[in-house]
Amino acid sequence: MKKTLLSGDEAVARGAYEAGCLVAAAYPGTPSTEILEAMAQYPEINSRWASNEKVALEIAGGASIGGARALAAMKHVGLNVAADPLLTLAYIGAYGGLVVVSADDPGCHSSQNEQDNRHYAVLAKLLMLEPSDSQECLDFTRAAFELSERFDTPALMRMTTRVCHSKGLAVTGERNAVPPKPYVRNVKKNSMLPAFARLRHVEVEKHMAALEDFANNCAMNRIEWGADKKIGVVTSGISYMHAREAFGDTVSYLKLGLTHPLPRKLISTFARSVDKIWVIEEGDPYLEDAIRALGFDCLGKELVPIQGELDAGLLRRIFLPPDQVRPYLSQIMPPPRPPVLCAGCPHRGILHILGQHKKDIAACGDIGCYTLGIQPPLEGLDTAVCMGAGFSGAIGLSQAFKAAGDSRKVFGLMGDSTFFHSGMTGLADAVHAQANVCLCILDNSITAMTGHQENPGTETDLMGRPAVRLDILSVVKGLGVPEDSITVLDPLDRPKVTEAVEKAIKTEGLSIIITRRPCVLIKEVRKSLEGRKCQVDPEACKKCKMCLKVGCPAIAFKDGHSNIDQSACMGCEYCMAVCKFHAISRVEGGAK
């Protein structure tokens, strides 16, 4: 028996490895990213970053149809992108076990919403498992592959940030090298034409009924009796850990691990055995609604918040009398530190210039590091909705402006990874509709915000294999944008970016700006910049604070003038281009 310290994400990867998974695909997104990064360490599994979550799930679905055990992982909003194949793969079922991991983000640590993806299990009619710790992540993933094949359904592993990122000891096992099943052409099962889909739906309902019987009796759903039966807590996932920490053995628990289909018999047995039911769950009243539908009264969302995360201290404050609540939080809180673009970030240049033109333009942003350019002092963007909306939203906004007689030019911005994820389709529409927009692709040669994952624009893939690098300029031209409407430039070249933006404002119709400069945190880039620093001459500084407007974390106003923190400065020199008084210079002796 070997115990290993694993995060929940690493434990899912280990569980998939042990279950004999052969194919894995994902699109990065916190808190799910580390699952595929960990899977890439097992050469037995063909792991890759897909260009988006729909593609990832379709790759895994194809592998399952081909008889191989397969996994697709994504963050919660990624499941929206993958929802189309998800709901139909539920009808096709699983020949090779098919596991879909959704990592939800209660509290929006790094997401644009707090959606509770347990609803997807209901909507798509899927088996759903909710692990509470790393051991369960490993064990449940192994079980998910087996149950997926046994009940002919994709299995949804629903995790949340604290389960994904907390580390715990997990007992690891050997790999069960399940060979792929022989491929069988079976159009009635694998082609969801209406006539076949109607028949498959009947099967899906049968599988769900059989799964509910299983859920009522499986070890993943268990009653843990406490000191007495006055209070019965119904809970799942991380909420179980918080409840245990808050109440220990003073209450009884119904700990649910297989949460779709819900074990209604088991819930009823538990509910009848206790005097009062507390439902402790993050997010929506998923368990609570089911309990009420069974005719039991309970305490849930009238006390437990729908928004944000739970913790043991919060649960004690909610459920225990004040004299039993001991202080739980530290009295000293760290000062708030809102996220900002890194020192030397190439996106800073174009965002700064767009911000300076904010009266003449509106700019639709997207999801990536550049989203940080919405906030002061940059204020270079007006909107952020979802991946891809930077381009398609710009088309709609420009049409609204036209209808309103508003002459402002609309810009749309996104990064290279987002362009491959869901920007190319928006661009196709912009070309087709002859939209009056300027669309900007901020190519920093990597998927930066989630921690530098490969994408179709990189020369290697997740497993370090050589890959075909797609050239964004060629893609843009291939989608029908004439060469004279495209400007390629360095985003920190202030005069050129200013000229390109001002030209786009004056030009009617579609124009494209592609900015090219690699993320400053890429190891080789960082190394090449070693020793490159800028400094302020206090005598020459006129205290105009223009350099502070670029929002660089290395620049601060101290001792009556601007200062550059040498330990943070990356020597990008954008502040030098902004200072009208030439008070900023390169530190002599630094690398050129």
Ligand X SMILES: Cc1ncc(C[n+]2csc(CCOP(=O)(O)OP(=O)(O)O)c2C)c(N)n1
Q: Which residues bind ligand X (CB under 6 A)?
A: 27-29, 75, 77-78, 81, 367-370, 387, 414-418, 444, 446-450
Tokens representing 373 are 């350019």
Give me the sign of the Cα torsion angle 101, 106, 111, 114: positive
| Closest distance of CB 79 from ligand X, Å | 9
Choose among 128, 76, 104, 7: nearest CA to 309: 104
Supply the minimum distance, in Å, between the C-beta of residue 373 and ligand X.
Answer: 10
Structure token pair of residue 546: 């223009």
Q: Where are the alpha helices (DSSP H) in 377-443?
A: 389-404, 416-418, 424-432
Q: For ligand X, which residue has the nearest CB? A: 415
Are residues 454 and 527 in contact, defined by beta-carbon separation less than 8 angstroms? no
Nearer to ligand X, 115 or 447 (CB): 447
* Residue labelled with tokens 């009398």: 321
Kindly tell me which of 395 and 472 has the beta carbon lying closer to ligand X: 472
CB of 422 to ligand X, least distance (A): 8
Strand 276-280, strand 252-256: pairing: unpaired
What's CA 142's distance to the chain center, in Å? 24
CA pseudo-torsion sign 453, 57, 65, 180: positive
- Structure tokens given for 3: 């115990």
In the bound complex, what is the minimum distance in angstroms from residue 135's beta carbon to ligand X? 27
Closer residue to ligand X (CB): 88 or 112: 112
In the complex, minimum distance from the CB of residue 117 to ligand X, in angstroms, rounded to a whole number: 12
Q: Closest separation between CB of residue 443 and ligand X, Å?
A: 8
State the maximum Cα–Cα separation within the chain, in Å, rounded to a whole number: 81
Least spacing, CB of residue 452 vs ligand X, in Å: 8
Report in angstroms how near the CB of residue 237 gets to ligand X at its nearest: 21
Q: How far is the CB of 540 from ligand X (least distance, A)?
A: 34
- Helix residue ranges, H only, 218-277: 237-247, 264-273
Q: Which is nearer to ligand X, 12 or 127 (CB)?
A: 12
Contacts of 63 (CB under 8 A, 6+ apart): 22, 23, 69, 70, 96
Q: Angle at CA 19, nearest 5°, toward 15 and 20?
A: 125
Q: Is 418 helix (H, G, I), strand (E, B) or coil?
A: helix
- d(Cα 581, Cα 439) in Å, to the nearest integer? 33
Question: Do residues 159 and 137 lie in contact, with contact meaning Cβ atoms separated by under 8 Å?
Answer: yes
Q: Where are the alpha helices (DSSP H) in 66-126?
A: 76-81, 83-92, 118-124
Residue 305: cis peptide before it, omega within 30 degrees of 0: no
| Beta pairing partners, 233 | 253, 278
Choice between 70 and 351, CB closer to ligand X? 351
Nearer to ligand X, 111 or 153 (CB): 111
**267-270 — which CB contacts under 8 Å span 24+ positions?**
267/234, 267/291, 267/294, 267/296, 268/294, 268/296, 269/223, 270/223, 270/232, 270/234
Residue 132 or 458 having the CB closest to ligand X: 458
Residues whose CB falls within 8 Å of the CB of residue 482, separated by 6 or more in sequence, listed in order:
none
Shortest spacing between CB 292 and ligand X, in angstroms: 32
Smallest CA-to-CA distance from 390 within 358, 432, 430, 353 is with: 430
Distance between CA atoms of 238 and 160, rounded to whole angstroms? 7
Give Cβ neighbours of residue 280 (< 8 Å, ≥ 6 apart): 233, 234, 235, 239, 240, 242, 243, 304, 310, 315
Shortest approach of ligand X to residue 524 CB, angstroms?
16
Closest separation in Å from C-beta 416 to ligand X: 5
- Shortest distance, CB of residue 369 to ligand X, whole angstroms? 4
* Least CB distance to ligand X at residue 328 (A): 32
Strand order in the sheet with 258-260: 46-49, 23-26, 70-75, 98-104, 155-160, 127-129, 258-260
* Token pair of 485 as six digits: 């409407």
